[in-house]
Structure formats: structure tokens, C-alpha cells
Structure 1
Amino acid sequence: MKLNYIYTFLFIIATTLVSCDDYVDIRTEGILYPEDTENYRYLLNNTPIYDLSYSLVDIPTDDISMRYDHAQYFETNAANSEFNRPFKDTYIFADSIYRTGEMDSEIKAMYEGLYSANVVITEVLESTSGAEQEKNALQGEAMVHRAYLFLNLVNTFGKAYDANTASTDLGIPMFIEPTVDQDIKRATVQEVYDRIITDLTSAANSGLPGVRSGTEVGFPSKSSAHALLARTYLYMGDYSKALENAEQSLALQNTLLNLENYTETPDFSWPRRIEDPELILSKKTMRSYNYLPTLLSLSDDLLNSFDSTDLRYQLYTRPNEELTYGDITEGRSYCIARLTGENRNAGPTVPEMYLIKAECLARAGNTEAAMDALNTLREARFRAEDYIALRAGDPEDALIKVLAERRRELMGKGGFRLFDLKRLNKDPRFARTVEHEYLNETYTLEPGGDRYQFPFASTLFQYAPNLEQNP
């Protein structure tokens, strides 16, 4: 397996890395020897196969709304498009998203990235010509990539983590070795989370650089390992460990963009991933909505939660009439892809870490510290003359304000709202029923409903007959 794999991938590296100049200038000249440590560096330099996140996960939430004129336009112009149709089926909580014979290209691409990560994890420590410190760091990078993939997909296709049921709840197929002939079954949610924590903990202690930025933002760092641990523990409800890791990540990387500096910045000129100091690790969504931003048309419930002076409302959302040149006249859409010219990003960020810190402090009863963390973020989201610090009367009031701020800050960025709804539905204070209207029909997703777990595409069962489908 090892020699055949390396020989195969040397060709892939040579032919694919030429498209990666957004990240690094890769040296591919000279002779490469199987089992040489340098080969594994080249595998990890192939960032497009790791820089991936599932795209449709924002759609079945209460953040998205297709008003009547939008649905009419969609039916006329886009409903039969192979690119757009899964959007509608996800929006109406359909039992299947991909038709018979259609492939889910996103899960396919993510598991291809997993295969490469597994090769590095299982082989690099035995490679030759490299120092032990280098080998450990390379393995740590691959572990971060694997952990992110598992965390993203288990929250898409599996149930929210519940300590009482996680050992029996179905998660995702979880390969931890580079194999193509293993019987494909779903590990439990508990097994997946255990592996995520093991990988990220090892990665955080593997000798990774503290921070990766600029052209290296697609490469894992110690900050990203702690950031993803913070996200993982938050989803598990282990708030003390989530807080600890959020603070460790922020100790390494804590710069925020002051949106007041970008009020006159034209479209496609905003900071890209390699220029964004808030981004801890790049994990872009695979579907680009640059030219179809109305696929992220926002609900009144979300829009009405913004203060009119909030620069996220003013800059990150835009009237559908403007985006469609009058074809759709109602509502507003999330338009960050139009500003940056790039796909949305679901990777960990500095704002997410401040929000995790604030939530965990509120849940621990530390009202003042929670609001301090929250206001650190909010101050960068308003013009100086419009900014008013939020105050809370008690920990529960603080928690309510933090969760509302989390929804605004992380809207449209790749599943945060869906994953939050799933975990918060277990708390009667925050459980919500999602209603989506499409033309004259209303579709409902109750707390804990089956469609909180995405269905697997039917084509997967041709290769994985023992894969359990979601109900």
C-alpha cells in the first residue's frame, strides 16, 4: 500500500499543486524517493484536497428564507439545475437531496482528502531523511485536517452530541487508515468525537507553528488545533474545556477586523483568506454563491435581530433586488462571497473563539467577563460613534445575548447555525421549530427532527451496502 500510494500521488502532486499559488510556492523539481519525509510535506502542501467544508449546511436553518417571488424565480430559472436543485431539496427538508444515480461530490472530495491525511498520519513517522521534530509536526498537520473533516461531517450526517446516547447514535464512516477495501459502516457519534479529541490533542503538542497566516493559512497551526478543540468541546457541552482551548487559541491569535475600515471597499476587494487576520485555518465551502447569493436569502427573524447600525447588516447583507437586477424584489441575502470573490469559509476564526469564550463564561455564571469578551468582538462591528457596549443583568441574560450575537456573527459561514440548532434543541429554553415556506407550501422541521441529519446520496450504497441510511 505504501509504495503504490506514494508513486501514485507523486503524479497527483506534480499536476495539481500548480493551481495552489494562493498558498505557497511549491518546489517539485528533483528526485523524490518513496518513504522520504519530503514526500509527506508535498502531500500536505496539496491544500485544495484538505481545504474543504460541506456547503449545504446553512440551508435547512431558520436563517434562510425563500420568499414567494424568490421561489417563483427559482422554479423558472434554476430548479432543474444539477447545481441548484439540491439547494431546494435541502430547504424543504426532502428525504433525499441527490436523485438516484447522482453523486454527492462534496462528501466524495472530503473523503479523498481524508485518505491523503491518513497516509501521512500512518506513515510519516517511519519515513526517512527527516528530523523527528519535522515528522511529528507533519503528522500533527494531518491530524488537524482529519479532525476537522470528522467534526464537520459528524455534525452534518449524525445527531448532535448527547452524552446519554452518543455511544449508540450513528455518526459517519470513520477511516483512520489509508484503505479502500474496508467494510463501510458508521461509527458512533461517541467514537467519532473521541477520535477528534485524540487527534487534536496530539496535534496541539506535535510542534506545529503557533500561527499560520498569509499564504500559509490553509496549513494547520497550534492555534487551529486549540480552536477546533474549543469548537468540539462546545458541541459536547464540556464548557470548561471549550473555554480553556478558546483562550489558548486567542493567546496565539486574537486580531479582529475593524469593519469601519471597510465601509467604502468595493466588491471583490475585501481581504481574501490569505489577507484576513481573523482566519485561523482556511476551510472553504465547496459551492460558490458568488453569482447566486440569493441562495443565501436571509429570514426576517435573523435580519430583524440586527441593529440598523450594525456593519455586518450594512456590509454583509444586500437587497435581493440589487443582487438580481430587479428579478427578485423582496428580502436580503448574505453576500460575503461577492465582497471577497471567494467561497465562504467554515474554518475556525478569532471571532468564533471570542464567542465560545463568552458563551462558556456565561454558562459558568461569570456575567461580567462574558460580556467583556462579547463586547471585544462587537466593538469591531460598529462605527465608533454607533457602538454601545452590551450589558447583562445575570448569567442567563448574558447567555441569551451571546447566543444571539453568535447567530449574527457566524451567519452563512458554513453550518454554524445548523449545528447550534441541533445542540440547543436539547435545552427547552432555546429549542426552535424551523418553518420554511416555498410557494404555497409550508415545510416544518421540529426540534430533534430526522432531517437535522442529512441523508446520504443513494449512489454511496452501491459501494457501501452496509452503510446505514438516516431515517
Structure 2
Amino acid sequence: MKKYLKYITIAAVGAIVLSCDNYVDIKTEGKLIPEETQNYRYLLNNTSTLDKAYGNIDVASDDISFQNESQTSALTSTDYYRPFVNLYKWADKIYFEGERDYDMENLYNALYNINIVINEVMKSTNGTEAEKAALKGEAEVHRAFIFLTLVNTFGKAYDASTSATDPGIVLFTTPTVSDNIKRTSVQEAYNVIISDLNDAVNSGLKPINSGNNVAFPSRAAAYALLSRTYLYMRNYPLALENAEKALALQNTLNNLEDYEFEAYPSRKLDKELILSKWNGYGTYTYAPQLLSLSNELINLFDTNDLRYVLFTQPSSNFNFDYTIGRSYSKEGLTGESRNAGPTVPEMMLIKAECLARAGAGDQAIAEINKLRQKRFRTGEYVALTATDSKDALIKVLAERRRELMGTGGFRWFDLKRLNKEPEFAKTITHTFGSQTFTLAPNSDRYQLPFASIYFEYAPDLQQNP
């Protein structure tokens, strides 16, 4: 294997061989060739590799605010937190020379095995065509999630007029490595994402997965990611169509009132979760100093809202030196990190947004009221109303921010797409100690810079400005 594999497909040769060796008999002739269909099932069972998201990005959004002086002192006391501070400042460099972006590496590492399945499973032996097609479909959902996450992290927001030339990501679609590694366009990434997901919905996947299987893609997950993809493309009719298809398969909501004095369900028991994509055990887990919420976000909540009650706490609860603000604290309820995978509430919010944009404001408000009913105690719920479809859209977007706060990059990606609309374009300000940083709509800083170490191995990898 070439040295590029370590840094661009992002896994050392030894690590790849060791991880695969747990599952398959390998013939090494330039690539790994598991021959029996069952071996591909084993590759896709490796959820510790596949159940990953890009965890850092939430810090850059306007959901997060480092308000306490002792907080900023703690964050600058060790290099461990420096990447998060740099993200918060929208710095032109997030990592020092020689440092690696482990979130990006985790996704590309998963991609290697996913591409093996996509490219080879249909030629495998001792499996039915239906079994092979379903395995390929699972892998395609995983790949679509990875590419959608990466292109929205490192590429520009989708714009039909420029995306054919806007730099996107390194788009590996085979388990091989090129000598000349370059970024493809944003449009090319979306083309692969849509093709993968359209193939996956027709591949024979189970309608839904839950319990121990929630990290395995289902048909509902494929529709849900199609809906998310079209939302980020601002193709609202197709986003609506696919959200409705996902909800036709899975539409159960948690009633938060049931968990005010009971244990909140883990992801294996979470009825709202369509596909688990979490950040693993990393810096964010049990780290409210990195997820202290902005006053702007907190002020969007009714204090009777059980998302406010259950999922946020005064920052002083975590550190006696913190005297102001509230922090996102859901991790403390479940012992798990944040999920970036699709959920029933996300699909309801996409449906509502698309209805409002289509002029059906009453239907949009009715949809988010179904969600909100499960977010308040029975006697404290008050239905939202809207004067017209524009007012409904504003209220849907506010509800989306409350429901998806501080998790999965949702707010950052929303800022990017909404900046394309003058009425929603927003300038963000972050304060860190005595410094103030400002991010203008459509700024180049909305595209994260690649860590400089990767240019040592891929000199033609184009850096973001």
C-alpha cells in the first residue's frame, strides 16, 4: 500500500489489515478480496468503525458561547482543547503542523471498508442476489452519510449555479488509492450521494432498524438521508417527498414528560432514532465546557419546554467557577455522545419547513405542533400559530434550532444553506476572553481548512482559502 493510504483514506495499512482480519480471509493482490457473501456481512457489523460522525463542527456555530472567564482560561490551559478554540474563533488553521484531524480520519477509515463492500459484494459467493443487494444498500447509506457530512464540512453550501466548480472533497468510491489525490466538485459529491441513496432504497433493506440494530441502515434511513440531502440542496419538493416516505415507515416520538423522573432511553431504546451516527467517546462526552449554549439559543426556549429542562443545565452545575450561562447536558442522561444520524423529529421538521416554503403554513404549523406536544408537560403545552406561511417558516426554523441544538453539525450546516437566502443570512459573533470574532454570511471560513499534514502526502489537495 502507498503511504497516501495512511493519511487520505486515513488508516494505516496495518490498522486496515488488522481490522479486516477479524472478519475475513484475505487474499492481498493490491486490495482485500473477501470471497463469501457472509464476510461482507461481518465487515458491515463493525459498527465501532461505521457508527461515526464529524464531532467538532458544533463549536463553530452560533449555538455555542464560551461566556465564563474561567471557562476560557480552562480551554487555553492545554493543547488538548486548542482545535476546539480555533474552531470557535474560525481560525485559518485549526490544527498545528503535524497534527491530524481524527474526525475526518475516522470517516475515511470507515469509507475504505464500505467501498470494499460496494465494489465487490455482488461478485461474492454463497449468498443470494437479494442478500448481496441488501448488503450493498447498507454500505451505500453509510457512504452517502460520510460524503454528505464531509462535503458540508469542507465544501461550500450547495448552489446549483456554482457547485459544478466549487471544490468539494476527496471522493473515494473504490478501495484503492490514487497517486494524484485531488478534491472533486461539490456537485460530484452530491451526485454520488443521491445515486447511492436511490440505489439503497430499492436494495431490499429492512423497513426500519431499532434496538441493537439501530446502527444498521434501513430503508427509512435511506429515505431520511435523501430528505436531508435535498434540504441541503434547497430542493424542497424532493426533501418533502423523502421525509414523508421516511415518516411513513418510522414516526414514533418520545414523550419527554415520561422521562422527567425516569431514565432517558439510550440510543438502543430511543424510538425516535432512525440511524445511529454518533461521535464516540471523545472530547465532547461529559464536557459541558465545550457545549455551553449561547444566550440567543437559550432565549428561544420557553422554560417549561422539557428540552430546556432535561437537556440543558446551569453551567455552574458542572464547575463552581462558572457563574453564568447554561450548557448542553444530554450526554449525562444517557452516558453516550451526541447523535448526528437521522431521527423522526428531524424528518418532521424537514416536512414542516418544506410545507411552509410551499405556501402551506397551516400544515407546517400542525406538523411541528405534533412534535411540540411531546416536548411539554400535558398541562403546559400551548399550540403555536402562524399568521401566514412566511411566519410559519420562521417558527419552523426556530423549532428546528431548539430540537437539534448543539448536536451533529445541524446548526452549522443550516447556517451555511440559509446564508444563501438574504432574509435569513446572518452575521455571527463569538467572544473569547477579551477577543471578539465575527463571521460574515457566506464567509470562506464556513469551509473548514484541512490539516496541513495531509498536504505532505497529497500535494494536489486544494486548501480552502
1:339 is displaced (CA, Å) by: 1.0
Match of 2:101 among 93, 99, 104: 104
The percent of aligned pairs where both chains have the same amino acid is 56
**Change in CA separation of 1:50 and 1:82 when aligned onto 2, cut-off 3 Å:** farther
Partner of 1:247: 244
Partner of 2:146: 149
Take 2:240 and 2:433, find their aligned partners in 1: how far apart are those partners?
44
Contact 2:181 2:458 in 1 (8 A): yes
Take 2:212 and 2:391, find their aligned partners in 1: how far apart are those partners?
41
Match of 2:265 among 266, 271, 284: 271
Match of 1:320 among 279, 291, 315: 315
Deviations 1:114-160 (A, max 9, x none): 11100000000000000000000000000000000000010000110
Say which SS state the counterpart of residue 391 (structure 1) adopts: coil
Amino acid at match of 1:408: R
Partner of 1:22: none
Partner of 1:441: 435
Residue correspondence of structure 1 range 160-199 to structure 2 within 5 A: 160-199=157-196
Match of 2:19 among 12, 26, 46: 12
Take 2:424 and 2:433, find their aligned partners in 1: how far apart are those partners?
28
Match of 1:393 among 384, 387, 390: 387
Contact 2:56 2:103 in 1 (8 A): no
Contact 2:52 2:278 in 1 (8 A): yes
Take 1:197 and 1:401, find their aligned partners in 2: how far apart are those partners?
29
Deviations 1:61-81 (A, max 9, x none): 111111142xx4442x34253
Deviations 1:412-466 (A, max 9, x none): 1111000000000111111110000111111000001111111100111111110
**Change in CA separation of 1:445 and 1:120 when aligned onto 2, cut-off 3 Å:** same
The root-mean-square deviation of aligned C-alpha atoms, in Å, is: 1.9
Contact 1:288 1:342 in 2 (8 A): no
Q: Which runs of 4+ in 1 moved over 4 A?
A: 6-11
1:11 is displaced (CA, Å) by: 4.6
Partner of 1:66: 66
Take 1:299 and 1:153, find their aligned partners in 2: how far apart are those partners?
25
* 2:406 pairs with 1:412: yes
* 2:132 pairs with 1:135: yes
Match of 1:465 among 455, 459, 462: 459
Partner of 2:335: 341
Contact 2:65 2:293 in 1 (8 A): yes
Take 2:134 and 2:17, find their aligned partners in 1: how far apart are those partners?
21
1:34 is displaced (CA, Å) by: 3.6
Match of 2:78 among 71, 76, 81: 81
Gaps (5+ residues) in structure 2?
Answer: 2-12, 26-32
Take 1:448 and 1:139, find their aligned partners in 2: how far apart are those partners?
37
Partner of 2:295: 300
Say which SS state the counterpart of residue 274 (structure 1) adopts: coil
Match of 2:208 among 206, 211, 216: 211
1:176 is displaced (CA, Å) by: 0.5
Amino acid at match of 1:303: I
Contact 1:243 1:356 in 2 (8 A): yes
Say which SS state the counterpart of residue 128 (structure 1) adopts: coil
Take 1:13 and 1:167, find their aligned partners in 2: how far apart are those partners?
36
Residue correspondence of structure 1 range 303-382 to structure 2 within 5 A: 303-324=298-319, 326-382=320-376
TM-score (norm 1): 0.92
Say which SS state the counterpart of residue 435 (structure 1) adopts: strand
Gaps (5+ residues) in structure 1?
Answer: 18-27
Contact 1:59 1:91 in 2 (8 A): yes
Deviates more, 1:135-144 or 1:281-290: 281-290
Amino acid at match of 1:463: Y
Deviations 1:40-97 (A, max 9, x none): 000000011111111111111111111142xx4442x342534311111100111111
Residue correspondence of structure 1 range 47-62 to structure 2 within 5 A: 47-62=47-62
Match of 1:225 among 222, 225, 228: 222
Amino acid at match of 1:183: N
Say which SS state the counterpart of residue 180 (structure 1) adopts: coil
TM-score (norm 2): 0.93
Contact 1:288 1:343 in 2 (8 A): no
Contact 2:37 2:125 in 1 (8 A): yes
Take 1:296 and 1:256, find their aligned partners in 2: how far apart are those partners?
25
Contact 2:75 2:85 in 1 (8 A): no
**Change in CA separation of 1:350 and 1:442 when aligned onto 2, cut-off 3 Å:** same
